[in-house]
Amino acid sequence: MSGDTILLVAVVAVALIFGLLNGFHDGCNAVSTVIYTKALKPRTAIALSAIFNFIAPVVLTPTVAVTVGKLIDAGDASARLVIAALLGACVWEILTWIWALPVSSSHALVGGLLGAGLVALGAGGIHWHTVIMVFAALFLSPFLGILTGYLVMRLSRYFFTKRRMSMVKADRFYKHMQILSSSWVSFSHGWNDATKVMGIIVIFLAARQGLGVEQYHAEHGIPFWVIGSAAAAMAIGTYLSVRSFRLIRTVGEKICELHPINGFSAETGGGIIILLATTFGLPVSTTHVVTSAVTGTGLASHLGAVSWKVFRSIMLAWAVTLPFCAAMAAVLYYLLGLVM
């Protein structure tokens, strides 16, 4: 096996590990509310989520992959740069899982790419117009999540009030609706997040030919083995999250009191934002959007319905994610230089 092939295998392996951790870490987002409202049993909910996380990136155009690949100058990227970026993000994924904090895999990945890219390529190797576009999407999407969660919650309450449903009947109705809404979030999550992993692999594939990601994509597209393996890693990671309820408890219990109507409203609103962003090729955080949408459903009741202490802790973790991963990736880039 040639040295170039070994480097490719190493890049793909680390990328798929990140995808698996992403699914494991974020699997709770689509299922936490549907589990805590007892609309579905945990194993059923997570298995369904894993299926939709696999289907979406396989059947839809991987729009986000090209955007992620355009963050740095792929033509000059090395295996060392890509692996350092991924490992920096992986460290944060593991730490925040231990702390039971729902954070953004997107922020972690972007931070890792920027940190490793800056030390490897310098500021001139970063495509700052793409960075600004991605930052805008990552910054605005949580606020849109709160807004959509709030609006869908108000519309849902208006619907069952007009239908003169009792709370018992409304709970039963929205439990059934949650099966659809949680599947919708899983589908959206798979389309957005799995394609980020594809984008990282494509950076190295393009670099091997001295091409930019856009040029490589125009000439070769994204190989199906990249699409299939990234989708599978995301689905397997999501399915394995059945073994950990740490993050599921944070999103499902601690932000606000959840009824089926909250779960349906948060999932529907969050899914709309994620799907729209992915359609335009923008990477967003499913964690941020869904957590914010849950908060929005609490606000639709009253301010006191939201646990602001928990929300502040989550917000602090969000703010720390990108600089931490950038710094970690930069350190790892230098350390990997000792062996690569």
Model confidence over 185-236: pLDDT tens digits?
999 999 999 999 999 999 999 999 988 898 999 999 999 999 999 999 999 9
- At residue 281, the 3 state secondary structure works out as coil
Domain ranges of the chain: 3-336
Return the ∠ at Cα 278 (arms to 273 and 283), rounded to 5°.
Answer: 95
- Tens-digit pLDDT profile for residues 29-43: 667 777 777 788 888
Task: Tell whether the torsion through CA atoms of 254, 259, 264 and 269 is positive or negative.
Answer: negative
Give the pLDDT mean for 294-320. Answer: 64
Q: Is 256 helix (H, G, I), strand (E, B) or coil?
A: strand
> Which residue, among 332, 320, 319, 324, has the nearest Cα to 119 in the 3D structure?
332
Please report the pLDDT score of residue 222 as a whole number.
94
Say yes or no to pLDDT of 105 above 90: no
Alpha helices in the chain (DSSP H): 3-36, 42-59, 63-69, 79-98, 105-121, 128-162, 167-208, 213-220, 224-240, 246-249, 260-279, 286-299, 308-336
Residue 204: what residue type? F
Distance between CA 122 and CA 201 in Å, rounded?
Answer: 21
Q: How does residue 338 score in pLDDT terms, banded at 50, 70 and 90?
A: confident
Q: Which amino acid is at 46?
A: I
Give the confidence band of 83 by pLDDT, cuts at 50, 70, 90: very high
Indicate the angle between helix axes 167-208 and 42-59, nearest 10 degrees: 40
pLDDT band for position 289 (cuts 50, 70, 90) = confident
**Which pLDDT value is given to residue 102?**
67
- Using left for φ > 0, alpha for ψ between -120 and 50, and beta otherwise, residue 57 falls in alpha
3-state secondary structure of 126: strand
What token pair was written down for 97? 């899982």
DSSP 191-215: HHHHHHHHHHHHHHHHHHTT--HHH
173 token code pair: 């109705």
